[in-house]
Each structure stands twice: as structure tokens, then as C-alpha cells.
Amino acid sequence: MIAPNTAHAAFEKAAQYFGIRLIHVPVDVVTGKASAQDMIRLITPNTIALVASAPCFSLGVMDDVESIAALAAEHGIGCHVDCCLGSFLLPQLAKLGRTAVSPFDFSVPGVTSISCDSHKYGFTPKGGSIIMYRGTALRQYQYFVSTEWSGGIYATPTLLGSRPGALIAATWATMITLGQDGYRQAAGQIALMVDRLCDIIEHTEDLFIFGKPASSVVAFGSSTLNVYAINDEMSHRGWHLNALQNPAAVHIACTMLTTESTIEKFMEDIAESVAAVRAQPMLSLGAGTAAIYGTNAVLPDKSIIEDVAKGYIDLLYKL
Ligand SMILES: Cc1ncc(COP(=O)(O)O)c(C=O)c1O
């Protein structure tokens, strides 16, 4: 499986569970995208699928779904589009005429499967997600059937055996209640806040935005200052932004809670934080610095991280 290195860690997790070798393609630091050209030379007769994100979690930019899917079609392999973050926003943003939204769905030849998260911008409870296939033949690989089991014929469509009906009912009720109009209104409001944020970051000396934010996530970096130190300064001012790595960056994900007053506060605090770091040029971290997913925490030494992370999970189970 070949994926841009900005593809979600869930692909690495799936690769580990299913014994698939995952090959990462580095993304361009300016556009934040991996090119299909870089994928071509990695395809072998063993390659089963190419991955594209719409958009990726870390930098919030769309991969070039059309060219990656075309390449997959040419080689007769799968092309999975990870639309977990974009699913409930992109179609509405496209209808609202946003130009950062390039084609990403089954209208693109070569796309064979798409994942969507209803619990993100679908505003439904966590615990349910959506996977869609271009055809039923592909979907059947997901099914498990045991015809000889002592408990009777056992057939299940998903990795989970017993599943909560209440969750599906709540998801359905939320979607029906909000409807297309509700989702379009939410997407429009979020897009306005994204525009405001981009404007502020673009006008902040020493900061740059990675690529073209496609939906709700805006990632920024700095070629002159330590972006993690800027994040620390933001934390001192009450912000909880996501620290990213490879490349070093910080992102902010706009939601319905990102309002005009949040943006005003961001504008003041980011200016102060950048100025504070500029005043202490010694604040630089070593090349081994690692950011922890879903947090603003940064570790100074990568070599111990796996053990620390496993120890942390163990501790949660002990509690
Ligand atoms: C783009 C993207 N893909 C996949 C996932 C993984 O979702 P889950 O946490 O349900 O494994 C996320 C979650 O943040 C995501 O943003």
C-alpha cells in the first residue's frame, strides 16, 4: 500500500494488523501534497492500493485524488480516498463554490473506496464510521461467514461483531435533523473562520501556511522560528493547538465553536507568541523532536517514544 506520509496513522495501524507493507511518499513542503509521479516508481506487482486524503488530518490539504486514482486504475489496483475529515464539509463547500475543493469522490475514475467520519463534521456520536465501495464485489471481502460453527451459520459484515444499534439510531437522527441545509450552513460558517485564520497567519511575519487548506484545518510552520516554541507560547495563553511532525508544524481545526471572538483572540495571541519566540532565538529543539497525535505535546527524544506510549496505554488499563 502506498500512501502520502500525511495519510492518517490509521493506515499504518491497518498495515500492521493485516501484514501489509506500507510505503510512505513524502509530501511537497509547499503544497503539502504527494505527487502521483512519486508513487509511480514505487508500484510493483505486489502493490494492492494507493491512498489519497481529502483532506489529510495533519496539513488539512487535499491530495491530488484525480491523478492518484488514475494511476491506480492504470495498474488495476485500489485507490482509497480517506475522506474522514472532509466528508461532511467538502460536498457542501463545493456547492458553496470553494475553489480548494478538487474532485474526490466516485465521480473520479479509479477511486475504489472512500471512508467518511460522521462523528466529525457530521456532528454524530463517536463510535460509528462509514466505508463505501465502488461496487459490491469489493465490499464482500469485508464479510466473514462461518458455515460450520457449532453456534449455527455465522455471518457478519464488519470487523466488529456485536454493534450498538443506539449509536446508529443517534447517527441517523442527527443527520436527518441537520439535513443538507444544516450541514451547508455549518460548512459555510467554518469556511469563513478558515479564511479569517488564513488571512491572519499569512500576515504574520515568520509564519507560513502549508498548501491550500481545503476544509477546516489550517496548518502553519516557520522557516525562521521554532514552531513548537510558538505553540508553547500559545498554550500559555490558553490555546490547545495540535503539534505535528515531519514536517514540524502546528494546526488549528476550526469547528462550530470557532467564532469571530475566537479569531480575534487568536490574532492577538499569535502575534504575541511569535514576538515572544523571536525575542528568544535560542529556543530551538533538536532534529529528533516528536509531536504526539491529538495533543500539543512535543517530546525531545524519539528513541524512547514507542516504549513510553505503550507504557502509557498499559497504565490506562491498570487504572
Ligand atoms: C483524515 C483522517 N483519517 C482517519 C482518521 C482516523 O479515524 P479514527 O480515529 O476513527 O481511527 C482521522 C481521525 O482523526 C482523520 O482525521
In a shared domain, residues 188 and 130: no
In a shared domain, residues 12 and 69: yes
In a shared domain, residues 201 and 101: no
Which strands sit side by side in the sheet containing 249-253, from one edge to the other?
208-209, 217-221, 249-253, 242-244
Ranges of residues in the chain with a pLDDT under 70 are 100, 281-301
Q: Is residue 168 part of a domain?
A: no
Q: Is residue 146 part of a domain?
A: no
The pair phi, psi for residue 113, each rounded to 5°, is -150, 155
Q: Is residue 239 part of a domain?
A: yes
> Which pLDDT score, from 0 to 100, does residue 305 have?
83
**Who lines ligand 1 at CB under 6 A?**
8, 10, 53, 56-57, 82, 84-85, 117, 129
Distance 272 CA to ligand 1 centre (A): 32
In a shared domain, residues 198 and 294: yes
Distance 104 CA to ligand 1 centre (A): 17
Burial of 189 (C-beta count, 10 Å sphere; 0-12/13-18/19+): middle
Q: Is residue 235 part of a domain?
A: yes
d(C-alpha 287, C-alpha 24), whole Å: 20
In a shared domain, residues 101 and 198: no
Instruction: Quickly list H helices, 19-96.
Output: 36-40, 65-75, 90-95
The label of the residue with cell 487548506 reads 213
Cα of 11 vs its chain's centroid, Å: 11
Which strands sit side by side in the sheet containing 130-133, from one edge to the other?
23-25, 2-4, 49-53, 78-82, 113-116, 130-133
Number of domains the chain contains: 2
In a shared domain, residues 206 and 118: no
> Which pLDDT score, from 0 to 100, does residue 194 have?
97
Q: Whose CA is nearest to atom 16 of ligand 1?
A: 57
Distance 203 CA to ligand 1 centre (A): 31
Q: Is residue 171 part of a domain?
A: no
The string of DSSP codes covering 131-153 is EEESSHHHHGGG-EEESS-TT--
Q: Is residue 316 part of a domain?
A: no
In a shared domain, residues 100 and 194: no
Question: Which of 84, 88, 131 has most ligand 1 atoms within 8 Å of its beta carbon, as the pocket-test mutant?
Answer: 84
Distance 319 CA to ligand 1 centre (A): 26
In a shared domain, residues 134 and 208: no
Distance 149 CA to ligand 1 centre (A): 34
In a shared domain, residues 81 and 211: no
The pair phi, psi for residue 78, each rounded to 5°, is -75, 155
Distance 27 CA to ligand 1 centre (A): 19
In a shared domain, residues 201 and 108: no
> Which pLDDT score, from 0 to 100, does residue 247 have?
87
**For ligand 1, what atom is nearest to the CA of residue 126?**
10
**For ligand 1, what atom is nearest to the CA of residue 55?**
1
Distance 86 CA to ligand 1 centre (A): 11
Q: Is residue 319 part of a domain?
A: no
**What CATH code is carried by the domain that includes residue 287?**
3.90.1150.10
Q: Whose CA is nearest to atom 11 of ligand 1?
A: 10
Q: Whose CA is nearest to atom 12 of ligand 1?
A: 84
**For ligand 1, what atom is nearest to the CA of residue 294?**
14
Instruction: Quickly list H helices, 77-207.
Output: 90-95, 136-139, 165-202
In a shared domain, residues 7 and 92: yes
In a shared domain, residues 120 and 10: yes
Distance 56 CA to ligand 1 centre (A): 9
> Which pLDDT score, from 0 to 100, does residue 64 have?
94
- DSSP letter for 273, please: H
Q: Residue 97: give the domain boundaries.
A: 2-140
What letter represents residue 39's amino acid? Answer: M
> Which pLDDT score, from 0 to 100, does residue 156 have?
95
**What CATH code is carried by the domain that includes residue 107?**
3.40.640.10
The label of the residue with cell 503544497 reads 31
Q: Is residue 167 part of a domain?
A: no
**For ligand 1, what atom is nearest to the CA of residue 83?**
1
Q: Whose CA is nearest to atom 8 of ligand 1?
A: 10
The label of the residue with cell 457478519 reads 156
**For ligand 1, what atom is nearest to the CA of residue 56?**
1
Element (H, E) at 15: helix 9-18
Element (H, E) at 220: strand 217-221
